Amino acid sequence: MPTLTAKRDYSIVRSLVRERAAIVLEPGKDYLIESRLDSVVRELGLSSIDDLLSRLRGTRYSVLHEKVVEVMTTNETSFFRDRIPFEIFANVLLPDVLARRDRDRVLSLWCGACSSGQEPYTIAILLRERFPELRHWRIRFFATDISPSMIARCRQGCYSEMEVRRGMPETLLTKYFRRCGTQWEVVDELKMMVTFQTMNLIGTWLSFPRLDFVFLRNVLIYFDLETKKMILRKVRSQLAPDGYLILGGTETIGNLDDGFERLDYRGISCYRVRT
Ligand SMILES: C[S@@+](CC[C@H](N)C(=O)[O-])C[C@H]1O[C@@H](n2cnc3c(N)ncnc32)[C@H](O)[C@@H]1O
């Protein structure tokens, strides 16, 4: 007779991740929870996942809890991810904003949920490559993520061969990166353009200036409806009246917030505050 193994109870992980990061782990995601907890077990030399779960249940919020929240986030990203949104940014949206800011010559951008930095560095490269006149502008460029280890990686700016091969064109690789052992390191000029900071989208936000561009890509998908609405409301209050919000390819505002107007460029949506 086959023996039935009892399903593990991951409710402590689910509530922890929901409470601290607003991420909803659906019931079908047990395999994902298990494999990620397994990495914590191995890293910390614990005896088993059950051992880890009982430590989580038995103590107040600690570095262990923080670690578990961190491993439960999905950090998938790449340079020029989905390509077309960056073309639209460089060919249409940015020229439009720059024309309106020509007198003050100040440009403000925020890349929320920036993971290991490929997205803000893609944007920084586009600014340098396509808009050399911006050297004479004041650029305020923030990139944030909930994960301290992702922000540490962003600041280091070091990427493996495989990571740069995922999207970075050869000519830009040799121009904006230098070899660093087996890795590629972003040049200081780009690093200095971006202020990297940890920030939880459901916590206290940095005090941003009025933002011309908000990139909030591939993160709202992890949240429930109320959290999405709350975040979009806050974005709207930070965005300049003629600024743009850019979401991920599978994300839309739909009827989450009727204060935004949707614009469509070659099938790519971006958003402006409705006037
Ligand atoms: C899939 S990555 C998206 C990276 C990048 N924006 C892109 O589109 O390639 C999602 C990122 O959201 C971050 N994240 C998840 N929950 C968050 C929260 N509550 N506040 C801030 N960042 C969060 C994760 O740490 C992760 O790096």
The CATH number assigned to the domain holding 104 equals 3.40.50.150
Pairing of strands 138-145, 158-159: unpaired
The yes-or-no verdict on residue 142 having pLDDT over 90 is yes
Specify if 78 maps to a domain.
no
Tell me, what's the pLDDT at 191?
Answer: 98
Nearest residue by C-alpha to atom 15 in ligand 1: 73
Any ligand 1 atom below 6 A from CB of 248: yes
Average pLDDT, the chain: 95
Q: Looking at the structure, do residues 228 and 126 belong to the same domain, yes or no? A: yes
The last residue of a domain, from among 35, 50, 72:
72
| pLDDT one-digit tens code per residue, 233-247 | 999 999 999 999 999
Query: CB of 109 within 8 A of CB of 215?
Result: yes
Query: CB of 254 within 8 A of CB of 221?
Result: no
CA of 131 to the centre of ligand 1 (A): 28
Any ligand 1 atom below 6 A from CB of 238: no
Q: How confident is the model at residue 26 (pLDDT cuts 50, 70, 90)?
A: confident
Query: CB of 188 within 8 A of CB of 100?
Result: no
**Mean pLDDT (whole number) for 7-22:** 94
Q: How many CB atoms lie within 10 A of CB 119?
A: 24
| Rounded Cα–Cα distance for residues 6 and 161 (Å) | 42
Specify if 18 maps to a domain.
yes
Position with higher pLDDT, 27 vs 190: 190
Any ligand 1 atom below 6 A from CB of 145: yes
pTM: 0.95
Tell me, what's the pLDDT at 2?
Answer: 54
Q: Looking at the structure, do residues 167 and 214 belong to the same domain, yes or no? A: yes
State which of 80, 89, 219, 226 you would mutate to test the pocket of ligand 1, scoring each by most atoms of that ligand within 8 A of its C-beta. Answer: 219
Tell me, what's the pLDDT at 29?
Answer: 83
The last residue of a domain, from among 40, 72, 104:
72
**Mean pLDDT (whole number) for 185-201:** 98
Nearest ligand 1 atom to the CA of 147 is 25
Q: How confident is the model at residue 267 (pLDDT cuts 50, 70, 90)?
A: confident
Nearest ligand 1 atom to the CA of 199 is 21
Tell me, what's the pLDDT at 1?
Answer: 53
CA of 87 to the centre of ligand 1 (A): 22
Q: Looking at the structure, do residues 27 and 108 belong to the same domain, yes or no? A: no
Tell me, what's the pLDDT at 27?
Answer: 81
Q: Looking at the structure, do residues 253 and 215 belong to the same domain, yes or no? A: yes
User: What is the share, in percent, of the chain residues with pLDDT greater than 90?
Assistant: 93
Q: Looking at the structure, do residues 146 and 197 belong to the same domain, yes or no? A: yes
Q: Looking at the structure, do residues 110 and 239 belong to the same domain, yes or no? A: yes
Burial 179-190 (b: 16+ CB within 10 A, else e): eeeebbbbeeeb
User: What is the share, in percent, of the chain residues with pLDDT greater than 70?
Assistant: 98
The yes-or-no verdict on residue 3 having pLDDT over 60 is no
The yes-or-no verdict on residue 68 having pLDDT over 90 is yes
- Measured CA to CA in angstroms, residue 63 lies from 70, 114, 126, 130 at distances of 10, 22, 38, 43
Tell me, what's the pLDDT at 148?
Answer: 94
Tell me, what's the pLDDT at 28?
Answer: 85
**Mean pLDDT (whole number) for 58-75:** 94
Q: Looking at the structure, do residues 231 and 168 belong to the same domain, yes or no? A: yes
User: Nearest-CA neighbor of 38 among 49, 25, 23?
Assistant: 49
CA of 216 to the centre of ligand 1 (A): 8
The yes-or-no verdict on residue 117 having pLDDT over 90 is yes
Do you know the residue count of the chain?
Answer: 275
For residue 273, the SS3 value is strand
Q: How confident is the model at residue 125 (pLDDT cuts 50, 70, 90)?
A: very high
| Rounded Cα–Cα distance for residues 171 and 90 (Å) | 18
CA of 240 to the centre of ligand 1 (A): 23
Specify if 3 maps to a domain.
no
Any ligand 1 atom below 6 A from CB of 71: no
- Quote the number of domains for the chain: 2
Q: Write out the residue range of the structural domain in which residue 19 sits.
A: 11-72
